[in-house]
Structure 1
Amino acid sequence: MPTRRPEGPEPTSPAPRRATRPPGTWTPSSTCNRLMSGTSMTRELALLADAFGYGLPDFRGFAINAMKSAFIPFDERLAIIGNVIKSWYADQRKA
């Protein structure tokens, strides 16, 4: 039986996340198979920014939530969140 793609926008266009996602829920964004889809995380985030007005604070939250779900040990996730993600976004606010 073939796999059926869920109803909704094409994978290379951003889904209407801000308008439909309840507060406090996580918003996934993925390139899936970037070599086949012809996209990148940079392009996907730019599409989200253009479509819904997302900015660095939103992307910071997305990155932290993504790391919370990463398949690495808990201590490593916390270290990356604190030492890489939060540090990088803090530097961007100063610039």
Structure 2
Amino acid sequence: GKDGTMELVADFLESTPERLNEMLESLNSPDLKNLRRLAHSYRSVCQIYGLNLMSSICTDLEKSALEEDKVSSEKLVKELKELFRAVVPVMKGNHCSKEMGEK
């Protein structure tokens, strides 16, 4: 139901900054295996919420991490951060506003 959805969205909004910071930190490790793993699991999460652009960036990130391309990987993680910043108000608005049904 609606409450369950709101809880999931809240969880997504809460856990994403940690995930993204973990991705940035993993750029400092000798190899990018962990980053690839993080990108892979986050891609699935983005797909659940229909965040297709973020999900496709995760796909690119998996690829650049596999190729040990730190420059591209860092750029992609920063892109994810920007996009996440943009979707926060949208996701909060969609699930928290009571006026939605009255239009």
**TM-score, normalization: structure 2?**
0.31
- Which one has more relative contact order, counting CA pairs under 8 Å at least 6 apart? 2
Normalised TM-score (structure 1): 0.33
Higher helix share: 2
